[in-house]
Structure 1
């Protein structure tokens, strides 16, 4: 089971893999010395009547060979573990970096549970592949060849028997492997489904309890868990069956060698010393291939996990090509922009044209599904238009996405809180600048809400630690923008789900945030729309009205109807 992507990981540290294999081969040579000395010792005691000095010499060689073999095995295991740990660390770093650099919409399209399964379970499955399976694959061919060099010099017939019988083990291994591939694939997919489902249920557990549906979901979890259990047991059944077949093939092969040696020893065709040496070496000759059979299913599991890992790593990065020199934001222009999500029969937004100038507060309004979020993603540079173009300062946005995204700060409706300190959550850096963090939290008003926390800005927050309220989370997101000192702000109505007290605090922070900054806002509240310099009204993917709040209300058109005559929004 060779995976080209995983094999490519060896190029990053060929020394560790080489040491793992070379020490194993050195251990094989030590085994030859050990068993030849042991056979000579017993032959000298029973048949050759050797002197004490020579017997002591053979005893010393036996013990020395055993010691070297054990040390080589320990060294091989050590370097194998180092190799697997290095690959695991690098792949986890690569997965995290990919989450940072790839299009956020592609990351959001995958369940959090699936991502965590890939990051944790998937990478863990690769440990056995690099520590055991891949080195064992090389040892399964290298060690028998090393033994055959000595066996052929002593007994040609036994050597030929071993050469013929050894391939039986990988033959049965591959044969059974073909039967289990589909089941192993099914097991991995069901594990991902179970993880994703559990994650989704846990995130919505409070809502389920309120609606009285938690018991139903508990039964559903039991069904999914049972399905995964049954599939896992099927895989284990095939794994035990394959181990039985491999052990049987190896045992019969050793028996054939032993019977041949015994018959020729009785007839006098072969002396005791080479016969006993070959008999001692026969189990060691087949052992590497037997161990490979034991790791074969682990290799299949690793191959399944690797497919998902490298599929995620091969997701396209956000556009980073920069052809236009950096300059201050002047205006962003949409020219007949349309966008169609892959697989969707209808356009999400169609023929949108408007101009957003620096210093303006632009608000998007419309019913759910009218295209506001898609328009926001287009303006952020997360997606590119299916038709039309977006110009930043008169030049195509697609050619300067990296410059644009470095200028902007985003305050989403549901900000994510990482499981780390509040300071790290604000800075989103490994080494936050304390003064900048403190100033950002003070200007946003977050500091006042942290008075009751044990360590202030150094308090750990996130799942399983301290949970922030909705208002604190919104102020945390605003603090991030203050810390970044972004000149352009995108908002997805952070006050939409807050109570009146929290909403008042967040509105005060937003007033400070938007002062002197350009803002692109998805608006749900009337006060947000009233403060906007330009309001865009969306309906079924089209821009149906635009203007200031007063202008739109005076027309008594789509916006007037949407706001209920100004009573609410």
Structure 2
């Protein structure tokens, strides 16, 4: 671990001022340490060698008390500044993480689990407290105090200075060696915590299903096993922390003992006066103390730095520069994909390969194809969540989607994903997200059109993620949300996959009515929805040979590079 992660300086401006303040407070503390050592030596020598009385030593004692108060005040200021800087940095990093994740969109973040992002935004960033409250302030002291103390000792006794100069570098050397082992353990610990969090969230979300199939107890055992693994990793990491602290303490103690023995021998032989010996002996431990404390606080900071690596991994994901243009009116504009190729992180090969497709205003097109062919990715491309590789483009009328303001385009699009997300609240509140100004009658009409009026009353409350609702119910709420918007483009990803035949027939009739005047793209495997479409396009996996032949008029045939119309 680097003493100061440069990415924190880049992403968190509050860090820069705090570092400067830490060094300045460290220098002030070094001055007080030196003054305290000199005053103690003055008092001891004056009392035992020079026979000075209490009246003559009153000034020195008062100054010594003042330096003690000053050191306490500097310590308080350092801690206060550390907590304020830590709070500012955490707030700034958390805001940047959430904004960046939102800007990346689901198309670029679907390889990251929601549990991992939740831990990063919460526990992960909170773990930086120790880094700012303990490690960085001590790092400021480690820069200022040893240098100032060594400079004073060098002017007083070059032999002691030579001993300190020879042994002092051993402490950071051992810190680096121990730190490498500790960092590896902390990285493993953080990965286990992320795995535990994600698994726990999945179990909670799927608890009704697990209970139905009698698998809840098995998942409890899985969580218990993961928790025990995390506990063992934590104990192993603490063992390394304690051993490293012991090693650093032992090294510093032996170094100070060498200085003390040297001073004692020279005092006995009259080669060194008592005042100088006391000043050097009092200052010698202060030269080692800040470095020892840095080594100790390193372990408190290591977890936060491991989490920060993950945070910077998200922040380092390239975010496409949004356009600024206004999207053309989708009621009159064609939607065209030209030679669209998409590659995804963690997946070999191409998801989409040189796909050409045109959607005309008011047209309903069904997209079919085997699993993994890229049908959902095609919708993400149309939504602007995923950008095609260079050479491909998405056109709204004659405007490239990459040049348009995403909000301007999204205001014209209603989208029903394959796995819609519902928020904690009532059914009506979830439907009204699409149009906050909609009245109760409009919400009821949208629910009725989505065949959700019988079993999903508007006042019914649902938990986060739609927990407690079936997959089909969640789909119908999402469909009602999309229908409420009355937007000119409707993108549907398997909207009836979890519906029974009767409910699907109702939804099919609703979609037939809703398609009037709208451009509709339906990803489906269901024959009923295929029959609803003006045109059916088969999307084959990238690299598959050919496509189904086009039937019907030539105008209906969009089939280059992996897409064919039937």
Q: Answer whether TM exceeds 0.5 for this pair.
A: yes
Q: Of 283, 287, 309, which residue of structure 2 is paired with 1:281? A: 283
Match of 1:359 in 2: 362
Deviation at residue 346 of structure 1 after TM alignment: 6.7
Residue 309 of structure 2 aligns to a residue in which SS?
helix
Structure 1, residues 49-78: CA drift from partner, whole Å, max 9, x if none? 324333221221111111111111111111
Q: Distance in 1 between matches of 2:211 and 2:24?
A: 59
Stretch of structure 1 that moved more, 59-68 or 177-186? 177-186
Deviation at residue 426 of structure 1 after TM alignment: 6.2
Give the TM-score normalised by the residue count of structure 2: 0.81
Q: Distance in 1 between matches of 2:125 and 2:151?
A: 39
Match of 1:393 in 2: 397
Q: Distance in 1 between matches of 2:462 and 2:197?
A: 25
Aligned residues: 540
Match of 2:193 in 1: 191
Deviation at residue 191 of structure 1 after TM alignment: 2.8
Match of 1:269 in 2: 271
Deviation at residue 317 of structure 1 after TM alignment: 2.0
Match of 2:563 in 1: none
Q: Distance in 1 between matches of 2:191 and 2:178?
A: 21
Q: Distance in 2 between matches of 1:63 and 1:511?
A: 87
Pair 1:408-2:413 in alignment: yes
- CA change 1:336–1:71 in 2 (3 A) is closer
Q: Distance in 2 between matches of 1:14 and 1:345?
A: 41
Q: Distance in 2 between matches of 1:185 and 1:90?
A: 23
Q: Distance in 1 between matches of 2:189 and 2:57?
A: 57
Match of 1:65 in 2: 67
Q: Of 367, 375, 378, which residue of structure 2 is paired with 1:375? A: 378
Pair 1:30-2:32 in alignment: yes
Q: Of 525, 545, 548, which residue of structure 2 is paired with 1:544? A: 548
Structure 1, residues 481-518: CA drift from partner, whole Å, max 9, x if none? 57866432211243432568987997798678655432
Give the TM-score normalised by the residue count of structure 1: 0.81
Match of 1:41 in 2: 43
Contact (CA 8 Å) 2:426, 2:459: kept in 1 or not? no
- CA change 1:473–1:214 in 2 (3 A) is closer
- CA change 1:107–1:389 in 2 (3 A) is closer
- CA change 1:425–1:315 in 2 (3 A) is farther
Structure 1, residues 152-199: CA drift from partner, whole Å, max 9, x if none? 333222222222221121122122223444333333333333333333
Contact (CA 8 Å) 1:361, 1:520: kept in 2 or not? yes
Q: Distance in 2 between matches of 1:227 and 1:466?
A: 29
Unaligned runs of 5+ in 1: 454-458, 553-561, 563-569
Match of 2:490 in 1: 489
Pair 1:204-2:209 in alignment: no
Match of 2:101 in 1: 99
Contact (CA 8 Å) 1:440, 1:482: kept in 2 or not? no
Unaligned runs of 5+ in 2: 557-565
Measured on the aligned residues, the alpha-carbon RMSD in Å equals 3.8
Q: Distance in 1 between matches of 2:339 and 2:179?
A: 56
Q: Distance in 1 between matches of 2:31 and 2:504?
A: 76
Q: Of 462, 465, 468, which residue of structure 1 is paired with 2:464? A: 462
